[in-house]
């Protein structure tokens, strides 16, 4: 085990030595994660707190990422100049350096589970969840999210040799599930995202017959250049690359699961030049269509 760093001691003092009355019951777990941990994602600590009526935490410059899930009760979360009501099913979070305040409702104090984390991908995952901009929002599928949160907490307390990587893996899934739910939220769904999804759906349903991105754009009533910008923005690829990968993955499956000739497969996917199909396939899979079929059959 590594020796605990100074910042870890700061965290311990802050969440386990609060003035009396701030929490009625609480339980925490800790890992030996260093502040500059090179992992993609790593949990530093986490816990469950049943807050008292006078529970209040105000910070101006916290050094780590935090995510909290409200199990029951009420409270408020202040961040980015906004006040977010907290109740069962609301998730909240923030990035390092963001001033914020959590305060319990005096009549019905909140109960929550939280995780403090770091890592190279922590910022990007929080960005995808939209919590870095929204601060907090009500989860649409609270049962799924609560199950993930409780699974992380359970593994954190077990502390076997797989506990830490399991917690990091579940945290990744949690943040991506939150991102998925946020993207479906009506109040946070930009028109550009809806247009991208329309184009992407059309391509998924028709990629075998599509011969150019322009066909998909025309079918979706958008300019092909605009569609390309949307794909770059939301999937970091181009429509042409996206369509080609779908075609080639289908070609790979057909080579191993059908008696069609290579030429028939190519033509069924809109590759009318067999040499172009072979070159594209080899670049994608590292083997020619014939080699791929011979190797895997």
pTM of the model: 0.69
- State how far the Cα of 167 lies from the Cα of 152, in Å rounded to an integer: 5
- State how far the Cα of 58 lies from the Cα of 68, in Å rounded to an integer: 15
Chosen domain end from 135, 156, 187: 187
Domain count, the chain: 2
287: containing domain: 191-296
Per-residue pLDDT tens, the chain, 297 aa: give them: 444 444 444 444 344 444 444 899 999 999 988 877 788 999 999 999 999 999 999 999 899 999 999 999 999 999 998 999 999 999 999 999 999 999 999 999 999 999 999 999 999 999 999 999 899 999 988 899 999 999 999 999 987 889 999 999 999 999 999 998 887 765 556 788 889 989 999 999 999 999 999 999 999 999 999 999 999 988 899 999 999 999 999 999 999 999 999 999 999 999 999 899 999 999 999 999 999 999 997
User: CB of 14 within 8 A of CB of 67?
Assistant: no
- State how far the Cα of 262 lies from the Cα of 268, in Å rounded to an integer: 10
* 282 and 260, same domain (yes or no): yes
Chosen domain end from 122, 155, 187: 187
Angle, helix 191-206 to helix 239-257, in steps of 10 degrees: 30
- State how far the Cα of 14 lies from the Cα of 22, in Å rounded to an integer: 11
* 268 and 149, same domain (yes or no): no
Residue 66's nearest CA partner among 125, 3, 6, 4 is 125
Chosen domain end from 159, 187, 215: 187
């Amino acid at each position: 085990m590594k020796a605990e760093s100074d910042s870890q001691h700061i965290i311990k003092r802050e969440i386990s030595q609060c003035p009396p009355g701030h929490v009625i019951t609480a339980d925490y777990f800790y890992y030996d994660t260093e502040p500059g941990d090179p992992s993609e994602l790593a949990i530093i600590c986490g816990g469950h707190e049943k807050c008292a009526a006078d529970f209040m935490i105000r910070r101006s410059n916290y050094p780590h990422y935090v995510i909290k899930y409200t199990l029951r009760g009420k409270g408020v979360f202040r961040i980015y100049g906004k006040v977010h009501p907290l109740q069962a099913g609301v998730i909240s979070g923030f990035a390092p350096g963001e001033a914020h305040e959590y305060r319990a409702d005096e009549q019905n104090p909140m109960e929550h589970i939280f995780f403090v984390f770091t890592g190279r991908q922590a910022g990007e995952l929080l960005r995808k969840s939209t919590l870095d901009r929204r601060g907090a929002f009500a989860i649409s599928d609270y049962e799924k999210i609560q199950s993930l949160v409780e699974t992380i907490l359970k593994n954190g307390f077990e502390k076997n040799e797989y506990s830490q990587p399991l917690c990091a893996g579940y945290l990744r899934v949690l943040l991506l599930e939150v991102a998925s739910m946020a993207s479906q939220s009506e109040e946070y769904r930009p028109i550009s995202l809806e247009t991208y999804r329309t184009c992407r759906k059309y391509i998924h349903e028709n990629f075998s017959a599509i011969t150019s991105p322009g066909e998909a754009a025309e079918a979706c009533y958008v300019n092909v250049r605009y569609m390309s910008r949307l794909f770059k923005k939301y999937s970091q690829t181009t429509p042409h690359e996206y369509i080609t990968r779908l075609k080639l993955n289908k070609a790979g499956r057909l080579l191993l699961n059908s008696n069609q000739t290579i030429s028939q497969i190519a033509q069924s996917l809109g590759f009318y030049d067999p040499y172009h199909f072979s070159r594209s396939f080899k670049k994608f899979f590292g083997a020619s269509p014939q080699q791929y079929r011979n190797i895997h059959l």
